[in-house]
Structure 1
Amino acid sequence: MTELDTPPDPALVAEWRALLARHAAAACALDRELGERYDLGMSEFEVLERLWEDEQAPREAGLRVQDLACTVHLSQSALSRLIGRLEKAGLVERAICQVDRRGIYVALTEDGRTRYREARPLHREILARTLTDGGAGRG
Protein backbone atom coordinates (compact mmCIF):
# COMPACT_ATOMS: atom_id res chain seq x y z
CA MET A 1 0.00 0.00 0.00
CA THR A 2 1.43 3.40 -0.97
CA GLU A 3 0.73 6.71 0.73
CA LEU A 4 -1.64 7.57 -2.13
CA ASP A 5 -3.67 4.49 -1.25
CA THR A 6 -4.25 5.83 2.27
CA PRO A 7 -7.90 6.77 2.72
CA PRO A 8 -8.41 10.53 2.44
CA ASP A 9 -9.42 12.54 5.48
CA PRO A 10 -11.95 14.98 3.99
CA ALA A 11 -12.54 16.80 7.29
CA LEU A 12 -8.83 17.49 7.74
CA VAL A 13 -8.44 18.67 4.14
CA ALA A 14 -11.55 20.86 4.47
CA GLU A 15 -10.16 22.42 7.66
CA TRP A 16 -6.84 23.12 5.91
CA ARG A 17 -8.59 24.74 2.96
CA ALA A 18 -10.75 26.86 5.26
CA LEU A 19 -7.62 28.05 7.07
CA LEU A 20 -6.00 28.97 3.76
CA ALA A 21 -9.12 30.85 2.66
CA ARG A 22 -9.28 32.83 5.92
CA HIS A 23 -5.60 33.71 5.67
CA ALA A 24 -5.96 34.80 2.04
CA ALA A 25 -9.04 36.90 2.81
CA ALA A 26 -7.29 38.63 5.72
CA ALA A 27 -4.01 39.15 3.84
CA CYS A 28 -5.69 40.60 0.75
CA ALA A 29 -7.91 42.94 2.79
CA LEU A 30 -4.97 44.08 4.94
CA ASP A 31 -2.78 44.81 1.93
CA ARG A 32 -5.54 46.61 0.06
CA GLU A 33 -7.06 48.68 2.85
CA LEU A 34 -3.90 49.49 4.81
CA GLY A 35 -2.26 50.40 1.51
CA GLU A 36 -5.05 52.70 0.41
CA ARG A 37 -5.38 54.55 3.72
CA TYR A 38 -1.90 54.40 5.26
CA ASP A 39 0.49 53.39 2.47
CA LEU A 40 1.37 50.20 4.39
CA GLY A 41 1.20 46.59 3.34
CA MET A 42 0.46 43.74 5.71
CA SER A 43 4.16 42.99 6.25
CA GLU A 44 5.07 46.65 6.77
CA PHE A 45 2.37 46.97 9.40
CA GLU A 46 3.56 43.76 11.08
CA VAL A 47 7.12 45.11 11.33
CA LEU A 48 5.86 48.41 12.79
CA GLU A 49 3.75 46.49 15.29
CA ARG A 50 6.62 44.24 16.38
CA LEU A 51 8.83 47.30 16.86
CA TRP A 52 6.03 49.04 18.79
CA GLU A 53 5.65 46.00 21.05
CA ASP A 54 9.41 45.90 21.55
CA GLU A 55 9.39 49.52 22.71
CA GLN A 56 6.91 48.61 25.42
CA ALA A 57 9.46 46.20 26.96
CA PRO A 58 11.87 47.87 29.39
CA ARG A 59 15.24 47.30 27.69
CA GLU A 60 17.44 48.66 24.92
CA ALA A 61 15.35 50.25 22.19
CA GLY A 62 15.26 48.46 18.87
CA LEU A 63 15.15 44.88 17.69
CA ARG A 64 17.97 43.09 15.96
CA VAL A 65 17.09 42.43 12.33
CA GLN A 66 17.74 38.69 12.72
CA ASP A 67 15.32 38.51 15.69
CA LEU A 68 12.71 40.49 13.79
CA ALA A 69 12.98 38.13 10.79
CA CYS A 70 11.95 35.20 12.99
CA THR A 71 8.81 36.95 14.22
CA VAL A 72 7.48 38.38 10.94
CA HIS A 73 7.97 35.23 8.85
CA LEU A 74 10.12 36.84 6.16
CA SER A 75 13.51 35.82 4.87
CA GLN A 76 16.45 37.95 5.98
CA SER A 77 16.77 39.46 2.50
CA ALA A 78 13.04 40.21 2.14
CA LEU A 79 13.03 41.82 5.57
CA SER A 80 16.09 43.90 4.71
CA ARG A 81 14.34 45.25 1.60
CA LEU A 82 11.18 45.96 3.60
CA ILE A 83 13.17 47.78 6.31
CA GLY A 84 14.87 49.79 3.57
CA ARG A 85 11.47 50.93 2.28
CA LEU A 86 10.28 51.80 5.79
CA GLU A 87 13.53 53.67 6.46
CA LYS A 88 13.21 55.62 3.20
CA ALA A 89 9.65 56.55 4.23
CA GLY A 90 11.01 57.81 7.57
CA LEU A 91 9.14 55.23 9.67
CA VAL A 92 12.12 53.30 11.08
CA GLU A 93 15.81 53.84 11.63
CA ARG A 94 18.70 51.40 11.72
CA ALA A 95 21.66 51.51 14.08
CA ILE A 96 24.75 49.38 14.60
CA CYS A 97 24.74 47.40 17.84
CA GLN A 98 27.41 48.91 20.08
CA VAL A 99 28.11 45.58 21.81
CA ASP A 100 28.29 43.43 18.67
CA ARG A 101 29.23 45.59 15.68
CA ARG A 102 27.90 42.91 13.32
CA GLY A 103 24.36 43.36 14.64
CA ILE A 104 21.90 45.88 13.23
CA TYR A 105 19.08 47.25 15.33
CA VAL A 106 15.83 48.64 13.93
CA ALA A 107 13.62 51.06 15.84
CA LEU A 108 10.55 53.16 15.14
CA THR A 109 10.87 56.85 14.44
CA GLU A 110 8.26 59.27 15.75
CA ASP A 111 6.59 59.18 12.31
CA GLY A 112 6.60 55.38 12.49
CA ARG A 113 4.90 55.44 15.89
CA THR A 114 2.30 57.85 14.59
CA ARG A 115 1.58 55.83 11.45
CA TYR A 116 1.32 52.63 13.50
CA ARG A 117 -1.11 54.19 16.00
CA GLU A 118 -3.25 55.59 13.18
CA ALA A 119 -3.35 52.29 11.24
CA ARG A 120 -3.90 49.92 14.17
CA PRO A 121 -7.70 50.41 14.47
CA LEU A 122 -8.18 49.59 10.78
CA HIS A 123 -5.90 46.56 11.12
CA ARG A 124 -7.98 45.23 14.03
CA GLU A 125 -11.24 45.94 12.19
CA ILE A 126 -10.02 43.95 9.17
CA LEU A 127 -8.96 41.05 11.38
CA ALA A 128 -12.34 41.01 13.11
CA ARG A 129 -14.15 41.17 9.79
CA THR A 130 -12.12 38.46 8.04
CA LEU A 131 -11.15 36.05 10.82
CA THR A 132 -14.21 35.80 13.03
CA ASP A 133 -16.66 33.02 12.28
CA GLY A 134 -19.31 35.46 11.12
CA GLY A 135 -16.94 37.28 8.77
CA ALA A 136 -14.60 34.56 7.52
CA GLY A 137 -14.00 34.81 3.83
CA ARG A 138 -15.36 38.30 3.36
CA GLY A 139 -12.86 40.85 2.33
Structure 2
Amino acid sequence: MTDALMWDQLVTLHGRVEHELSKALQRRHGIGLSEFRALCRLSHADEGELRMQELSDLIGLNQSSVSRLVARLESQGLTRRALCPRDRRGVYTVITEEGRAVQEKAAPTYHGVLSESLDAAASDTRVAALVTALRAEP
Protein backbone atom coordinates (compact mmCIF):
# COMPACT_ATOMS: atom_id res chain seq x y z
CA MET A 1 0.00 0.00 0.00
CA THR A 2 1.37 3.42 -0.92
CA ASP A 3 1.74 6.15 1.65
CA ALA A 4 -0.85 8.24 -0.19
CA LEU A 5 -3.42 5.45 -0.17
CA MET A 6 -2.79 4.71 3.49
CA TRP A 7 -3.13 8.40 4.34
CA ASP A 8 -6.39 8.68 2.37
CA GLN A 9 -7.78 5.72 4.32
CA LEU A 10 -6.71 7.29 7.60
CA VAL A 11 -8.37 10.60 6.71
CA THR A 12 -11.58 8.78 5.71
CA LEU A 13 -11.61 6.73 8.90
CA HIS A 14 -10.78 9.73 11.06
CA GLY A 15 -13.56 11.84 9.57
CA ARG A 16 -16.14 9.11 9.98
CA VAL A 17 -15.23 8.37 13.60
CA GLU A 18 -14.94 12.05 14.56
CA HIS A 19 -18.39 12.73 13.11
CA GLU A 20 -19.98 9.90 15.11
CA LEU A 21 -18.22 10.92 18.33
CA SER A 22 -19.20 14.58 17.90
CA LYS A 23 -22.81 13.74 17.20
CA ALA A 24 -23.14 11.41 20.20
CA LEU A 25 -21.42 13.71 22.70
CA GLN A 26 -23.49 16.70 21.62
CA ARG A 27 -26.77 14.80 21.61
CA ARG A 28 -26.27 12.91 24.89
CA HIS A 29 -24.20 15.35 26.95
CA GLY A 30 -24.45 18.77 25.32
CA ILE A 31 -20.70 19.08 24.74
CA GLY A 32 -18.57 19.00 21.64
CA LEU A 33 -15.74 16.61 20.92
CA SER A 34 -13.06 19.26 21.51
CA GLU A 35 -14.65 20.17 24.84
CA PHE A 36 -14.66 16.52 25.86
CA ARG A 37 -11.02 16.08 24.87
CA ALA A 38 -10.00 19.20 26.78
CA LEU A 39 -11.85 17.98 29.89
CA CYS A 40 -10.14 14.58 29.57
CA ARG A 41 -6.69 16.13 29.33
CA LEU A 42 -7.39 18.43 32.25
CA SER A 43 -8.83 15.66 34.41
CA HIS A 44 -5.61 13.65 33.96
CA ALA A 45 -3.23 16.60 34.43
CA ASP A 46 -1.44 17.31 37.68
CA GLU A 47 -3.80 19.30 39.91
CA GLY A 48 -6.28 19.37 37.00
CA GLU A 49 -4.57 22.28 35.30
CA LEU A 50 -2.64 22.95 32.11
CA ARG A 51 -1.12 26.01 30.51
CA MET A 52 -3.12 27.10 27.50
CA GLN A 53 -0.24 26.21 25.16
CA GLU A 54 0.04 22.71 26.68
CA LEU A 55 -3.67 22.13 26.17
CA SER A 56 -3.37 23.39 22.61
CA ASP A 57 -0.59 20.90 21.88
CA LEU A 58 -2.40 17.99 23.55
CA ILE A 59 -5.69 18.35 21.70
CA GLY A 60 -4.33 19.55 18.36
CA LEU A 61 -5.93 22.97 18.15
CA ASN A 62 -4.24 26.29 17.51
CA GLN A 63 -3.94 28.88 20.28
CA SER A 64 -6.87 30.95 19.05
CA SER A 65 -9.17 27.92 18.88
CA VAL A 66 -8.13 26.79 22.36
CA SER A 67 -8.84 30.25 23.76
CA ARG A 68 -12.38 30.12 22.35
CA LEU A 69 -12.79 26.53 23.58
CA VAL A 70 -11.69 27.44 27.10
CA ALA A 71 -14.01 30.46 27.08
CA ARG A 72 -16.94 28.14 26.25
CA LEU A 73 -15.94 25.72 29.00
CA GLU A 74 -15.63 28.58 31.49
CA SER A 75 -19.04 29.96 30.56
CA GLN A 76 -20.51 26.53 31.35
CA GLY A 77 -18.67 26.37 34.68
CA LEU A 78 -16.56 23.39 33.57
CA THR A 79 -13.19 25.15 33.86
CA ARG A 80 -11.73 28.32 35.30
CA ARG A 81 -8.63 30.33 34.50
CA ALA A 82 -5.75 30.80 36.91
CA LEU A 83 -2.53 32.77 36.71
CA CYS A 84 0.79 31.04 37.18
CA PRO A 85 2.05 32.00 40.65
CA ARG A 86 5.67 32.16 39.43
CA ASP A 87 4.99 33.94 36.14
CA ARG A 88 1.95 36.23 36.10
CA ARG A 89 1.95 36.11 32.30
CA GLY A 90 1.30 32.36 32.30
CA VAL A 91 -2.38 31.44 32.13
CA TYR A 92 -3.68 28.06 33.16
CA THR A 93 -7.05 26.51 32.64
CA VAL A 94 -8.25 24.41 35.56
CA ILE A 95 -11.02 21.81 35.52
CA THR A 96 -13.81 22.33 38.06
CA GLU A 97 -15.68 19.63 39.93
CA GLU A 98 -18.58 20.16 37.53
CA GLY A 99 -16.17 19.69 34.62
CA ARG A 100 -14.92 16.43 36.12
CA ALA A 101 -18.49 15.22 36.53
CA VAL A 102 -19.36 16.02 32.91
CA GLN A 103 -16.18 14.28 31.67
CA GLU A 104 -16.84 11.18 33.77
CA LYS A 105 -20.46 10.99 32.62
CA ALA A 106 -19.53 11.44 28.94
CA ALA A 107 -16.56 9.02 28.92
CA PRO A 108 -18.65 5.84 28.49
CA THR A 109 -20.42 7.43 25.52
CA TYR A 110 -17.10 8.35 23.95
CA HIS A 111 -15.59 4.90 24.41
CA GLY A 112 -18.74 3.07 23.32
CA VAL A 113 -19.24 5.14 20.18
CA LEU A 114 -15.54 4.88 19.35
CA SER A 115 -15.73 1.08 19.49
CA GLU A 116 -19.00 0.99 17.54
CA SER A 117 -17.58 3.28 14.85
CA LEU A 118 -14.43 1.21 14.47
CA ASP A 119 -16.49 -1.99 14.37
CA ALA A 120 -18.61 -0.54 11.57
CA ALA A 121 -15.53 0.67 9.71
CA ALA A 122 -13.96 -2.79 9.99
CA SER A 123 -16.64 -4.09 7.65
CA ASP A 124 -15.99 -1.37 5.04
CA THR A 125 -13.46 -2.65 2.51
CA ARG A 126 -12.15 0.89 1.95
CA VAL A 127 -10.76 1.14 5.51
CA ALA A 128 -10.97 -2.40 6.97
CA ALA A 129 -7.24 -3.10 6.65
CA LEU A 130 -6.42 0.13 8.48
CA VAL A 131 -8.82 -0.67 11.33
CA THR A 132 -7.30 -4.13 11.62
CA ALA A 133 -3.80 -2.64 11.75
CA LEU A 134 -4.81 -0.06 14.34
CA ARG A 135 -6.40 -2.67 16.58
CA ALA A 136 -3.48 -5.12 16.33
CA GLU A 137 -1.64 -5.79 19.55
CA PRO A 138 1.94 -4.52 19.44
TM-score by structure 1 length?
A: 0.82
Q: Which runs of 4+ in 1 moved over 4 A?
A: none
Cα deviation for residue 103 of structure 1 reads: 0.5
Structure with a larger share of its residues in helix: 2
* 1:50-80 Cα shifts (integer Å, max 9, x gaps): 00111xx4xx541111111111111101100
- Structure 2 counterpart of 1:127, which letter? L
Give the Cα separation in 2 of the matches to 1:91 and 1:34: 15
Counterpart of 1:64 in structure 2 is 51
Match of 1:74 among 42, 48, 61: 61
Are 1:32 and 2:23 matched, yes or no? yes
Bigger Cα Rg: 1
Cα deviation for residue 22 of structure 1 reads: 0.9
Give the Cα separation in 2 of the matches to 1:61 and 1:135: 35
Q: SS of the counterpart of 1:98?
A: coil
Structure 1, unmatched stretches of 5+, are 1-9
Structure 2, unmatched stretches of 5+, are 124-138
Cα deviation for residue 99 of structure 1 reads: 0.6
Contact 2:80 2:95 in 1 (8 A): yes
Give the Cα separation in 1 of the matches to 2:122 and 2:90: 41
Cα-Cα RMSD = 1.7
Contact 2:48 2:95 in 1 (8 A): no
How is 1:51-130 mapped onto 2 (pairs within 5 angstroms)? 51-54=42-45, 57=46, 60-130=47-117
Counterpart of 1:136 in structure 2 is 121
Cα deviation for residue 127 of structure 1 reads: 1.4
Give the direction of change, closer, same or farther, for the CA distance of 1:111–1:130 in structure 2 (3 Å limit).
same
Give the Cα separation in 2 of the matches to 1:118 and 1:52: 13
| Matched residues, number | 123
Are 1:14 and 2:5 matched, yes or no? yes
